[in-house]
Chain A
Amino acid sequence: MALKDHDSLLAGDVSTGEELPELRHEVSATSVILGALASRDWRPMHHDRDFAQQRNGTRDIFMNTPNQAAWLERYITDWAGPRARLGRYKFRMGDSICPGDTIVFTGRVEDVAPDDTGCHWATLNIELSANDQVKTRFSARVALPADDNDNPWARRGDDWRP
């Protein structure tokens, strides 16, 4: 299902087995470095190619973990809209992502169900690939509004159980 402007998906719009739209993007050195600095990760393998190649044995500088997570967050809310609120994610990283790689996000809805507080959760399985190889596997739990008057961002304390 596609969104317009500031619309958000409602829990009832989503069904188990639904595929999320694919997201493709060519990674640049600038975006890798921007992401590292925005997450206060000053380690040289994320901005110094010589260091990355000689000390880490990688092809180039590579995307840091928080930046991969920031891509994940974007991927989920591009699909679900701004009222969707990420509650939790797990991940397992494989190989590095370097400038020049075209990253591809794909995902699938594994489950949609309310919890005891009435918060509706979608469980997603997401893969981040580059060069025809899965680099990172994520699972994520995102709260979706039940209706037009519901806003998961308003939940606090015991009403928020990610």
Chain B
Amino acid sequence: MPKKSSTATRWYSLEFFIELLKPVSAADDFTIGLDQALSWLDQERHAVTGEFDVERGYFFTTCASVQNGNPIYWDDAAIADITGGPTAPLTMLSAWFRPHYWMPGRETIPLPWETHFELKDTLALPEAVATDSEVAFGAPIRPGDRVSCVETLRSLSEVKTTKLGRGRFWVIDCVCRNQDGEWVGTETMTAFGYRKG
């Protein structure tokens, strides 16, 4: 009867040691660009100011598109009584800092959520999906206002595995203020940047 060893012995194949000596492939390396991305945490970046003053005509177009008859957008008495003057439909927040389709002399159009696309590139995560979005509304936006926004990376997760692939979750705030610096709203996007498989 063979003698049983008191300590377990595990045998490894030659291929196992060869595999250990191989450099980590880019596909498995989730530290690419990590230090740079972490340096963006809680830093205000990509400030944008709307190219146009807030215009009441857009209010009516938005309301017409969804047949919103709320009197605070249509009825002068309700406007004076309730909102103290015309206000933009709240959910138009992002419209006020989006660039127009064309302007003379403009060569590039700034992208909303630029930090999101920078994270994809910097962390070498070619795919991304927005998983959750949240919007909070502050002071009402009124005709003649000029809205500015600035992005801040709030969090960057450890490497996670989901059914989509491996990658990281991040949360970005886009904080919006009017020309007087008054807070008018914040959009927050949670996204998962990943490599398939």
Contact = CB atoms under 8 A, between A and B. Distances in A.
Interface stretch (B115-123, B132-140, B155-163, B169-177): B132-140
A2 interface: no
Contacts of A6: 71, 75, 78
How big is chain B's contact interface, by range?
Answer: 35 or more
Interface in A12-38: 25, 31, 34-35, 37-38
A48 interface: no
Interface in A79-120: 82-83, 85-93
Contacts of B39: none
A73 B98 contact: no
B70 A82 contact: yes
Contacts of B134: 88-91
A123 interface: no
Given A77-B70, A92-B131, A153-B82, A38 B136 contact: no
Contact of A74 (B68, B84, B131): B68
Interface in A37-61: 37-42
Contacts of A153: 72, 82-84, 87, 140
Interface residues of A, number: 39
Contacts of B131: 92
B135 A38 contact: no
Given A34-B61, A41-B98, A82-B78, A73 B89 contact: yes
Contact of B72 (A66, A82, A89): A82
A21 B68 CA distance: 16
B137 A66 contact: no
Contacts of B139: 156, 160
Label chain B's interface by main secondary structure.
mixed
A42 B132 contact: no
Given A67-B65, A67-B66, A70-B68, A160 B91 contact: no
B141 to A, nearest CB: 13
A39 B90 contact: no
B70 A92 contact: no
B64 interface: yes
A146 B114 CA distance: 41
B67 interface: yes
A35 B135 contact: no
A78 B72 CA distance: 12
B95 interface: yes
Contact of A162 (B82, B94, B136): B136
B147 to A, nearest CB: 12
20 contacts: A6-B75, A34-B64, A34-B65, A35-B65, A38-B95, A39-B62, A39-B92, A39-B98, A40-B98, A65-B133, A70-B68, A71-B66, A73-B91, A74-B63, A74-B66, A85-B90, A86-B90, A88-B137, A89-B135, A154-B84
A-B pairs with lowest CB-CB distance, top 9: A69-B91, A34-B65, A35-B65, A38-B61, A40-B98, A74-B68, A38-B62, A90-B134, A88-B136
